[in-house]
């Protein structure tokens, strides 16, 4: 009997530490929850809300964009002498390729006026191109020889090129000078790059070396006495563009220009876009809080806002014209095809 | 100890004519001992350690120890083996290849950023594998450390762990303990070394088996073993449970051993206080472990489909790469023509192979590899691991569900394997065992018919269901199991019989004989509680116990069994005194399935010799004497009534023998018993058959095979959900039919082989003729059934039930007939297969599975269901009973059948929904992300430069989009559990796979492409060329990349918020948290040294954060991207709502208590051919209202 007794105490002990699951709202999946469903009212109000927000924002964006005064001038074809048939040979020749154009200020432009060059069909986002640089070398003097990623523009005559790589090698080298009524407009080239680039990516003790010394000359040369962090044209160029059509900041004119003024631009058409049929444009533009001139965002806001309003309206009409019990199950798949299992 | 003494004088073997007393004889098999396959030698009681020197003498040492190990890995092979398992998956292998390739020049991103997510994913999966294996290890340790008493060198029995057992040890196993290894039975608490064994774990049979040790060892007792030595030769370990060949040399004599002496591991000692046994097979040599096959690894349909979708994604991936490389090849080739450089800034004249215009095809080929790596974000790397994590968490929820916890057995639900959760939501057909699954295997004496009069007022579950059917739906309380069942096995109320009132009945004499017979004709053993004097019984089967208990309750208390006599107390109804009567037991002719009856021959105190017999109606009525058929007609009628009510019936009859007749019988019987020829059994049968004739009918008993609690209701709900239920049972047709599956007016199509022609053929014994005739008959019956169905299909909503027995099933499952059988079966509302073997269960399951292509669920409790459980898409084991075999081979274990309702309708539905929306969402988010990369490539002359920073790329799947989707997979609910149960039709969404058919998958993919196009198009257009901020600087690749990425993160997370309709705090935290994490990451990453962060250096802090156009753009793009989906789902909710949306709407409107709405939502979609009481009621009211409405219209 003793063994039986032991068994019974065992069983009562077992009962005490039972396997019964602990009750909690979490384990029983009964947590308080918000369960929104798409009722007609919710749908209509959501659409209305979107349109109510989108339309003003769209109007504001559009206004901002419209406030921007922008002068775009394409000069790549114009700045080739008419008698030249082989444009590529012309551009690669070492002759002076000065060209002069006139821009008409259609609307008063308030300072600062930003000068951009715009290239077209230029794949700065090509993988070979993007990878062809050495961040270490740009940053630190001691890393001068780390040019392994820069091929084929890594070495010339066994000496490391600073800055190495295809990006630096193909630096844009058209230059512009502006004058209004024969008075030169000064172009400020300071502060056209991002501060973090100047401070952390381009060293102040890194000076160009052996640059553009190889057999084929790419783009601009650099002043070997100026450290890279002060070569802002290079810094801007090195921040590669996302798309094949891009603008890059050239400088700023810190002077208002009045409507009707004519700007004479003397430019040196050095950069070869003729090989790949790229266009070159000179852009003068002011900015607003939203940046430069682009109506797209404003129009898009207005369009979607309008669309949502339209949707709200049509849903309302549908709900009024054709009210139907949401609970009507005659639309269920298994009721629609009675034969199916 | 006291009980042991009480049994001491009992030679139980005497009462078992058929199974016991057989001499173990040497036969042909024994001559094989010593040869190949029969080479095992066991030295009993010579533990290895004592004989270290004489090793030639003792090879007990060479055998496996008793440690079992079911783990998949060991510490040593874990790493290689699990890694191998991981990379067998196509997606993982793909990522391994791209990971390796990323170390080459081909890679568009840095190698670390590519390999890290893979490492995270693989590690997570391996940790999961490891934990699961640890759990198995723990279970092994638990089993290996169970205690057993083992004979130690000192000659005493001491408790030790199972794992310490060695071949040759002698152990003592006590009542209700499991045998630790395969043992040779030496002696038991009974004098003649018999013992009862419950083999439920092995073969699923609930009745106890009798084992008997050799006579020569039967006298051994606890203190005799210290110098017991024996030498056993036997067969090698094998998987055959029913064979054992061996010999034992003891006291210089060789004795033959048979399965009769072998006690198998994992079976249980019952009704016997203790046994002594010698260990013969240990650990992995034991028959049960040799028998265990590794369970088939099951994958859910959704996962299999997911693989297909992944192949589609692979196809898109390769297509994109191919198109990209063609374009890349062309542009690259054009870069250098006649030594004139086109894009001179790329220096095409001095290029590596990857960009060389002169070798453009090679460059294109290598670019293709690069592109594969780049677009690999199309393939959700974390999908597999997320699914596994989600499923484990889902199983925890299943295990934790308090509503599936069974108080009495202390068993919660247990998801044994976690990878089938969503399959639970798609079950189309349930194949259920009956005994122990639908019924609780407890028999209750509920009615009887004595002398042609029916007694008993008990109401059976089936009758209750019938009442409910007739609109009396009040007895839900009555339904509870603890209604009033003071006595287990007895549910009989009738004031005409109870409390001694039977004496006043017209045939009191017959009634007395009836209950006397019940009290005497059995093999149960009484156990008297010495303190209270109460008697309990140990019987072989629950129905046997029910009879003895019934007799006791009426006043015929059986209390003592000796070797030769049975004693009962009869309550004298007049004097209210117990009268002791003793019957001398002369013979027992026990029950077996061919005889279908059992008899005892006793001599009462007056010296009359009586043969008392009980048996099935099919054999009993023909054995009645001509003058004993007085009540035949009435009894027969009652028996049919009882069978209709789902009761098990037995016919009771007796015969008085004269002295001479008995003597003749006894002589013949003894001769037959002692015969050692092969015809022994037929001889015994023949002799018994002759005496069991000319009997006088007393009456019939009706035993209720009780349905488990809640079964009718559960079946009702499941059939409302459109699930078909097949019952596969070993029971006979009559009892199998009536278990609440049938409804009024249901036409039954019965397929059987019990026809006179076949029976006559069987007597002839020509096997080919029988099978030909049977086949023809089945074919005919099947086509007839089909005809009935087609005839009925056009006219009405007639429901059919198909009933088929095992013998017919063997023919129906043959290749040429199985299709027509299945066609017939699938168009019937309910199908019952009776008398089917375990193998047939598996065959039927396989047939249904493959032919319908739908998900099947097998549910069962015993080892005979194992085949079915493993064959079915999901196997559910009933864990409320003692056997573990079914549970071990099941995928989910529940304690009671009725929990199936919650398991399927709630958890199954949720899991299906969660997993399918999770997978769809995964595809969506990866397409949204991956396709922006491709669109960027279009604008980057397909050079393979990613739009985003390397680390943005690689952390997308791991950080910024993974947690909400896991929350979706674990927590999302379309409607709460309450509504899942109230509207079982919700379940059809899973059965018809509405949420994971190609339509939703493709829609989600298309949604991904649309989102991606919107994001890229708007971002690139808005940021194109103009100044990005007031400072005049333009947006570079870094800024566009970060902006697009921000949009993607916002969009995929908000899309999630739109798609789910269940927000708890967790969802809020994870969805908004993911977006916050992205900004935090952007800040932190940007703050790291520029050598590490590359072009993301300070991109947020310096450029994005302070720029209005960035914020405006993100706001615009995010909202706009969501508009198409939002419009689509609003339209769908409005015009094509899915069922769950209707229920959601109902809940939202607060109309759930409005019966009219509920009825509309619930019933308008019921199919006519479902089973269950609701369907019955609905059918009735529908037909009424239909009639009503048609008259209204006219």
Contact B988 A285 (CB under 8 A): no
Collapsing DSSP states into helix, strand and coil, what is residue B701? strand
> Per residue in B420-479, pLDDT tens?
888 888 898 999 887 778 877 677 888 888 888 888 877 766 666 656 655 544 444 344
Spell out the residues 6+ positions from residue B1187 whose beta carbon is closer than 8 angstroms to its own: none
B3, B527 contact by CB (below 8 A): yes
For the cut 80, the answer to whether the pLDDT of residue B366 exceeds it is yes
How many residues does this entry show for chain B?
1194
Nearest Cα of chain B lies from the Cα of A166 at a distance, in angstroms, of: 7
The mean pLDDT value for B240-248 works out to 79
Tokens of A327: 């609970």
Closest by CA to B782, choosing from B736, B813, B738, is B813
Q: Does A36 contact chain B (CB < 8 Å)?
A: yes
Contact B1133 A152 (CB under 8 A): no
CB interface of B with A, residues 1008-1027, below 8 Å: 1018, 1020-1027
Contact A33 B407 (CB under 8 A): no
Nearest to A331 among B976, B1094, B1137 (CB): B1137
Contact B1144 A35 (CB under 8 A): yes
B925, B1052 contact by CB (below 8 A): yes
Q: Which helix (H) or strand (E) holds B966?
A: helix B962-971
For the cut 70, the answer to whether the pLDDT of residue B1015 exceeds it is yes
Nearest Cα of chain A lies from the Cα of B399 at a distance, in angstroms, of: 8
Tell whether the torsion through CA atoms of B679, B681, B684 and B686 is positive or negative. negative
Give the separation between CA B954 and CA B1081, rounded to whole angstroms.
13
How many residues does this entry show for chain A?
341
Q: What is the pLDDT of residue A8?
A: 40
Contacts of A40 in chain B (CB under 8 A): 1134
DSSP string, B714-760: HHHHHHHTT-EEEEE-SS-HHHHH-SS---TTPEEEEE----HHHHH
> Per residue in B292-330, pLDDT tens?
666 667 778 888 888 888 888 899 999 999 999 999 999
CB interface of B with A, residues 396-415, below 8 Å: 397, 399-403, 405, 407, 410-412
Tokens of B450: 């004595």
Give the separation between CA B62 and CA B742, rounded to whole angstroms.
59
Contacts of A296 in chain B (CB under 8 A): 1021-1022, 1024
> Per residue in A296-305, pLDDT tens?
999 999 999 9
The mean pLDDT value for B616-639 works out to 84
> Per residue in B749-787, pLDDT tens?
788 776 767 767 766 667 777 788 888 888 888 888 888
For the cut 50, the answer to whether the pLDDT of residue B616 exceeds it is yes
Contact B410 A54 (CB under 8 A): no
Q: How many CA atoms lie within 13 A of B1039 on its CB side?
A: 28
Which residue of chain B comes nearest to A238, CA vs CA? B1036
Q: Which of B190-199, B678-687, B793-802 has the highest mean pLDDT?
A: B190-199
Which residue of chain B comes nearest to A248, CA vs CA? B1034
Task: Tell me B152's DSSP state.
Answer: -
Q: Does B97 contact chain A (CB < 8 Å)?
A: no
Higher pLDDT, B122 or B1159: B122
Q: What is the pLDDT of residue B8?
A: 43
Contacts of B405 in chain A (CB under 8 A): 19-21
Contact A37 B1144 (CB under 8 A): yes
- Which residues of B participate in catalysis according to the annotation? 433
Give the separation between CA B323 and CA B306, rounded to whole angstroms.
25
Nearest Cα of chain B lies from the Cα of A326 at a distance, in angstroms, of: 6
Q: Does A136 contact chain B (CB < 8 Å)?
A: yes
Tokens of B732: 């006979």
> Per residue in B175-199, pLDDT tens?
888 888 888 888 888 877 888 887 7
Which residue of chain B comes nearest to A199, CA vs CA? B1090
DSSP string, A229-255: GG-HHHHHHHS-BSSSSEEEEEEEE-S
The mean pLDDT value for A233-262 works out to 91
B392, B972 contact by CB (below 8 A): no
Nearest Cα of chain B lies from the Cα of A168 at a distance, in angstroms, of: 10
Contact B1090 A118 (CB under 8 A): no
Spell out the residues 6+ positions from residue B1123 whose beta carbon is closer than 8 angstroms to its own: A50, A304, A307, A308
Which residue of chain B comes nearest to A53, CA vs CA? B1116
Contact B1116 A304 (CB under 8 A): yes
Q: Which of B105, B109, B345, B1022 to mutate: most A Cβ within 10 Å?
A: B345
Q: How many CB atoms lie within 10 A of CB B528?
A: 14
Contact A291 B1151 (CB under 8 A): no
Tokens of B225: 């073993």
Give the separation between CA B274 and CA B183, rounded to whole angstroms.
13
Q: What is the pTM of this model?
A: 0.81
Nearest Cα of chain B lies from the Cα of A220 at a distance, in angstroms, of: 12
B1133, B1126 contact by CB (below 8 A): no
Tokens of A4: 């039986």
Which residue of chain B comes nearest to A149, CA vs CA? B105
Collapsing DSSP states into helix, strand and coil, what is residue A294? coil
Contact A112 B1030 (CB under 8 A): no
Per-residue pLDDT band for B5 (boundaries 50, 70, 90) equals: very low
For the cut 90, the answer to whether the pLDDT of residue A56 exceeds it is yes
Radius of gyration, CA atoms only, chain B: 38
Q: Does ipTM surpass 0.95 in this model?
A: no
Contact B1028 A291 (CB under 8 A): yes
Closest by CA to A57, choosing from B1054, B1115, B1122, is B1115
Q: Does A332 contact chain B (CB < 8 Å)?
A: yes
For the cut 70, the answer to whether the pLDDT of residue B145 exceeds it is yes
Contact A239 B1038 (CB under 8 A): yes
> Per residue in B527-561, pLDDT tens?
777 777 778 887 777 778 888 888 888 888 888 88
Nearest Cα of chain B lies from the Cα of A309 at a distance, in angstroms, of: 12
Nearest Cα of chain A lies from the Cα of B1097 at a distance, in angstroms, of: 8
Give the separation between CA B1078 and CA B1099, rounded to whole angstroms.
13
Q: How many CA atoms lie within 13 A of B330 on its CB side?
A: 7
């Amino acid at each position: 009997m003793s063994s039986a007794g032991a068994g019974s105490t065992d069983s009562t002990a077992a009962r005490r530490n039972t396997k019964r699951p602990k009750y909690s709202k979490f384990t029983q999946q009964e947590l308080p929850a918000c369960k929104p469903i798409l009722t007609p009212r919710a749908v209509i109000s959501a659409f209305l809300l979107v349109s109510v927000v989108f339309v003003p924002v769209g109007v504001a964006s559009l206004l901002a964009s419209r406030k921007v005064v922008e002068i775009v001038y394409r000069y790549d074809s114009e700045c080739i002498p008419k008698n030249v048939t082989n444009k590529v040979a012309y551009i690669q020749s070492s002759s002076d390729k000065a060209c002069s154009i006139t821009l008409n200020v259609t609307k008063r432009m308030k300072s600062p006026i930003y000068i951009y060059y715009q290239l077209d069909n230029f794949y700065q986002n090509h993988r070979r191109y993007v990878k062809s640089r050495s961040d270490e070398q740009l940053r630190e003097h001691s890393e001068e020889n780390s040019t392994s990623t820069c091929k084929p523009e890594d070495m010339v005559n066994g000496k490391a090129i600073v800055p190495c790589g295809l990006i630096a090698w193909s630096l844009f080298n058209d230059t512009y000078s502006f004058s209004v009524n024969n008075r030169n407009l000064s172009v400020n080239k300071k502060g056209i790059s991002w501060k973090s680039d100047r401070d952390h990516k381009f060293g102040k003790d890194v000076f160009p070396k052996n640059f553009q010394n190889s057999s084929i000359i790419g783009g601009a040369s650099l002043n070997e006495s100026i450290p890279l962090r002060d070569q802002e044209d290079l810094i801007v160029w090195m921040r590669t563009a996302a798309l094949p059509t891009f603008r890059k900041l050239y400088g700023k004119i810190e002077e208002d220009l009045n409507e009707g003024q004519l700007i004479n631009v003397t430019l040196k058409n050095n950069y070869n876009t003729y090989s790949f049929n790229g266009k070159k444009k000179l852009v003068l533009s002011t900015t607003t809080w939203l940046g430069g001139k682009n109506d797209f965002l404003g129009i898009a806001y207005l369009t979607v806002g309008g669309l949502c309003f339209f949707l709200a309206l049509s849903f309302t009409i549908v709900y009024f014209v054709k009210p139907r019990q949401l609970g009507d199950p005659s639309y269920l798949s298994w009721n629609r095809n009675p034969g199916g299992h | 100890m006291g009980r042991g003494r009480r049994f001491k004088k009992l030679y139980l073997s005497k009462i078992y004519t058929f199974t016991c007393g057989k001499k173990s004889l040497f036969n042909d098999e024994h001559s094989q001992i010593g040869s190949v396959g029969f080479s095992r030698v066991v030295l009993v009681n010579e533990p290895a350690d004592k004989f270290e020197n004489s090793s030639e003498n003792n090879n007990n040492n060479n055998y496996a120890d008793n440690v079992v190990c079911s783990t998949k890995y060991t510490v040593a092979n874990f790493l290689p083996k699990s890694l191998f398992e991981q990379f067998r998956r196509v997606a993982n292998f793909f990522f391994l290849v791209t990971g390796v390739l990323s170390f080459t020049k081909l890679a568009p991103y840095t190698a670390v950023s590519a390999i890290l997510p893979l490492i995270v994913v693989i590690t997570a999966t391996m940790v999961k594998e490891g934990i699961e294996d640890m759990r198995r290890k723990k279970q092994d340790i638990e089993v290996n450390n169970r205690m057993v008493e083992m004979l130690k060198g000192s000659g005493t029995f001491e408790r030790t762990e199972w794992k310490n057992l060695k071949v040759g040890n002698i152990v003592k196993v006590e009542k209700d303990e499991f045998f630790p290894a395969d043992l040779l039975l030496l002696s038991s608490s009974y004098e003649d070394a018999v013992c009862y064994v419950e083999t439920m774990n092995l073969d699923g049979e609930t009745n106890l088996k009798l084992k008997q040790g050799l006579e020569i060892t039967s006298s051994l007792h606890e203190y005799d073993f210290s110098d017991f030595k024996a030498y056993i030769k036997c067969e090698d370990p094998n998987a055959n449970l029913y064979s054992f060949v061996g010999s034992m040399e003891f006291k210089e004599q060789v004795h033959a051993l048979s399965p009769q002496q072998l006690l198998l591991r994992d079976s249980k000692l019952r009704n016997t206080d203790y046994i002594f046994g010698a260990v013969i097979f240990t650990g992995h040599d034991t028959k049960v472990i040799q028998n265990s096959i590794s369970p088939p690894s099951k994958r859910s349909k959704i996962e299999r489909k997911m693989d297909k979708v992944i192949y589609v994604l692979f196809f898109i991936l390769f297509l994109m790469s191919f198109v990209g490389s063609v374009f890349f090849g062309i542009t690259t080739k054009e870069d250098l023509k006649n030594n004139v450089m086109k894009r001179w800034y790329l220096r095409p004249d001095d290029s590596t192979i990857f960009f060389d215009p002169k070798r453009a095809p090679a460059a294109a080929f290598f670019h293709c590899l690069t592109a594969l790596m780049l677009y690999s974000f199309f393939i959700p790397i974390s999908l597999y691991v997320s699914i596994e994590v989600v499923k484990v968490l889902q199983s925890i929820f299943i295990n934790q569900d308090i509503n599936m916890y069974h108080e009495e057995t202390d068993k919660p639900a247990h998801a044994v394997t976690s990878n089938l959760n969503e399959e639970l939501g798609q079950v189309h057909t349930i194949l259920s065992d009956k005994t122990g699954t639908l019924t609780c295997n407890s028999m209750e004496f509920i009615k009887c018919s004595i002398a042609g009069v029916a007694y008993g007022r008990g109401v059976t579950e089936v009758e209750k269901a019938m009442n409910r059917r007739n609109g009396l739906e009040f007895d839900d309380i009555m339904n509870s199991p603890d209604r009033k069942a003071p006595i287990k096995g007895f549910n009989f109320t009738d004031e005409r019989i109870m409390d001694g009132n039977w004496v006043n009945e017209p045939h009191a004499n017959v009634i007395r004989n009836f209950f006397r017979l019940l009290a005497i004709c059995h093999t149960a053993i009484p156990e008297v509680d010495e303190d209270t004097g109460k008697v309990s019984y140990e019987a072989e089967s629950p129905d046997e116990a029910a009879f003895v208990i019934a007799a006791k309750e009426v006043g015929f208390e059986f209390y003592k069994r000796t070797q030769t006599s049975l004693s009962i107390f009869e309550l004298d109804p007049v004097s209210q005194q117990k009268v002791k009567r003793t019957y001398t037991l002369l013979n027992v002719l026990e029950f077996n399935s061919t005889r279908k009856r059992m008899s005892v021959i006793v001599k009462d105190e007056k010296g009359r010799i009586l043969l008392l017999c009980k048996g099935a109606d099919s054999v009993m009525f023909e054995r009645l004497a001509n003058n004993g058929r007085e009540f035949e007609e009435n009894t027969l009628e009652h028996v049919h009534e009882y069978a209709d009510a789902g009761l098990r019936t037995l016919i009771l009859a007796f015969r008085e023998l004269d002295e001479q007749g008995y003597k003749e019988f006894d002589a013949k019987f003894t001769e037959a018993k002692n015969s050692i020829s092969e015809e022994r059994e037929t001889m015994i049968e023949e002799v018994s058959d002759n005496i069991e004739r000319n009997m006088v009918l007393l009456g019939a008993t009706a035993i209720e095979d009780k349905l488990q609690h809640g079964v009718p209701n559960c079946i009702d709900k499941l059939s409302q959900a459109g699930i078909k239920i097949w019952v596969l049972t070993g029971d006979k047709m009559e009892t199998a039919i009536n278990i609440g599956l049938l409804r009024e007016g249901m036409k039954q199509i019965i397929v059987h082989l019990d026809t006179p022609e076949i029976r006559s053929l069987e007597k002839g014994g020509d096997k080919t003729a029988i099978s030909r005739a049977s086949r023809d008959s089945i074919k005919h019956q099947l086509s007839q059934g089909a005809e009935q169905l087609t005839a009925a299909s056009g006219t009405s909503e007639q429901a059919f039930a198909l009933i088929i027995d095992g013998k017919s099933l063997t023919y129906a499952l043959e290749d040429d007939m199985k299709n027509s059988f299945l066609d017939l079966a699938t168009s019937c509302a309910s199908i019952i297969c009776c008398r089917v073997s375990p193998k047939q269960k598996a065959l039927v399951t396989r047939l249904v599975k493959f032919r319908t292509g739908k998900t099947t669920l097998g549910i069962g409790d015993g080892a005979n269901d194992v085949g079915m459980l493993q064959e079915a898409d999901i196997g559910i084991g009933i864990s409320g009973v003692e056997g573990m075999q079914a549970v071990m081979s099941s995928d989910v274990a529940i304690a009671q059948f009725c929990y199936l309702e919650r398991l399927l309708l709630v958890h199954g539905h949720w899991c299906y929904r969660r997993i399918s929306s999770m997978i769809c969402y995964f595809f969506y988010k990866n397409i949204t992300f991956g396709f922006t990369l491709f669109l960027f490539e279009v604008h980057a002359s397909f050079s393979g430069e990613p739009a985003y920073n390397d680390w943005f790329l690689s952390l997308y799947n791991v950080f910024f989009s993974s947690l909400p989707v896991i929350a979706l997979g674990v927590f999302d609910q379309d409607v709460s559990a309450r509504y899942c149960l109230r509207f079982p039709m919700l379940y059809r969404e899973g059965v018809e796979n509405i949420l994971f058919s190609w339509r939703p998958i493709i829609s989600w993919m298309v949604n991904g492409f649309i989102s991606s196009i919107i994001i890229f198009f708007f971002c690139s257009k808005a940021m194109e060329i103009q100044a990005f901020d007031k400072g005049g600087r333009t947006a570079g690749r870094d800024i566009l990349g970060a902006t697009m990425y921000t949009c993607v993160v916002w969009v995929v997370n908000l899309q999630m918020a739109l798609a789910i309709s269940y927000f708890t705090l967790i969802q809020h935290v994870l969805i908004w948290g993911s977006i916050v994490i992205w900004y935090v990451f952007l800040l932190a990453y940007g703050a790291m040294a520029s050598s590490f962060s590359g072009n993301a250096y300070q991109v947020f802090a310096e450029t994005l954060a302070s720029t209005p156009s960035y914020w405006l753009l993100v706001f615009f793009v995010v909202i706009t991207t969501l508009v198409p989906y939002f419009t689509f789902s609003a339209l769908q909710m409005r015009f094509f709502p899915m069922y769950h949306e209707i229920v959601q709407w109902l809940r939202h409107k607060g109309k759930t208590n409005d019966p009219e709405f509920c009825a509309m939502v619930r019933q308008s979609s019921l199919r006519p051919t479902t089973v269950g009481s609701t369907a019955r009621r609905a059918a009735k009211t529908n037909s009424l209202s239909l009639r009503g409405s048609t008259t209204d219209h006219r």
